[in-house]
Amino acid sequence: MDLDGLDPNRMPRHVACVMDGNGRWATKRGLPRTEGHRAGEEALFDAAQGALELGLPWFTVYAFSTENWRRPGDEVRFLLNVIADQLLTRRRDDLHALGVRIRFIGRRDWRVPRWVGRRMDEAAALTAANTAMTLTVAFNYGGRAEIVDAVRSIVAAGVPASKIDERTVARHLYDPTIPDPDLVIRTSGEFRISNFLIWELAYSELVFSDVLWPDFRREHLLEAIREFQARDRRFGNTGRHDGIPS
């Protein structure tokens, strides 16, 4: 991919996407919302390939939230099929051939059908040794649920209160090996987080795009990274442009 305008020394290590706008994309075309989800899966594959071409080691997508179960049963079933049949079965082999390791974060509770859980395990096992990029799929994921689950696991491990610090919490998240996202992209013009990675994004740069997710392509990823590189990440410290000699 053309890296025009990007600084190779300031690439994000981890980019995470809230893939939003599938329903509106379909409605605008007079199609059922489900068609938007089908098209959204294609956009995800293109964006993942773009991330790979850019050499991003970590790419995470929000595929289904703990709140998405509130949707009509037919739409939920369709979404599960798109994720389990299309992404985790048909695409899985393409992603595997590209050297992508597939991982999951989220709650594996009674609402997740057994066959979907099996597909997730198979995709993760097949691709476990791949090293080109890690694609983490947030499925039945909620940031608050993740923090609650971390607290439960800390208590279950018998860690004394005085020994709990931020690193303890981080170690008990769904996948402690994933670095915090440097950049979080949300599509479809909504300015909210919707319970995505709320612990991990404490210092992430947020980029909001008007593009509806099914229209999202690797070029949009590039654009978001360009915006990311123009930001001054201060992490509470003084900035690069404050004139104070370092």
Contact residues for Mg ion (CB under 5 A)? Answer: 20
Helices (H), the chain: 22-28, 33-53, 73-81, 91-97, 114-127, 143-156, 166-171, 218-229
In sequence order, the 6+-apart residues with CB closer than 8 A to the CB of 93 are: none
The nearest distance, CB 78 to ligand IPE, in angstroms, is: 10
Question: For ligand IPE, which residue of 21, 50, 106, 143 counts as binding (CB under 6 A)?
Answer: 21
68 labelled catalytic:
yes
Measuring CA to CA, which residue among 138, 137, 60, 127 is closest to residue 98? 127
Which amino acid is residue 195, in one-letter code? N
Distance CA 118, CA 120 (A): 5
CB of 16 vs ligand IPE, minimal distance in Å? 11
Binder of residue 43, out of Mg ion, ligand IPE, none (CB less than 5 to 8 A by kind): none
The one catalytic residue in 2, 4, 9, 68 is 68
- In the complex, the smallest distance separating the C-beta of residue 69 from ligand IPE, rounded to whole angstroms, is 10
Is residue 20 annotated as part of the catalytic site, yes or no?
yes
Interface characters, 203-232, with ligand IPE (x: CB under 6 A): ----------x-------------------
Q: Tell me, what amino acid is at 72?
A: P
Residue 49: which of ligand IPE, Mg ion, none does it interact with, CB under 5 to 8 A by kind?
none
* Residue of 1, 6, 24, 132 that binds ligand IPE (CB under 6 A): 24
Is there binding between residue 79 and ligand IPE (CB under 6 A)?
yes
- Was 65 annotated as part of a binding site? yes
Closest distance of CB 246 from ligand IPE, Å: 40
Residue nearest ligand IPE by beta-carbon distance: 23
Q: What DSSP assignment string belongs to 117-172?
A: HHHHHHHHHHHTT--SEEEEEEEEE-HHHHHHHHHHHHHHTT--GGG--HHHHHHT
Is 33 part of any known ligand binding site? yes
# binding residues, ligand IPE (CB under 6 A): 18
Partner from Mg ion, ligand IPE, none binding residue 63, C-beta < 5-8 Å depending on class: ligand IPE
67 annotated among ligand-binding-site residues? yes
- Per-residue tokens: 199: 């612990």
Q: Which residues contact 216 (CB under 8 A, 6 or more apart)?
A: 17, 19, 43, 46, 47, 187, 209
* 193 assigned to a ligand binding site: yes
Contacts of 167 (CB under 8 A, 6+ apart): none
Question: What tokens appear for 99 in the block?
Answer: 């050297």
- Closest-approach residue to Mg ion (CB): 20
18 near ligand IPE, judged by CB under 6 A? yes
Using DSSP, state whether 196 is helix, strand or coil.
coil
Q: Which residues are catalytic?
A: 20, 68
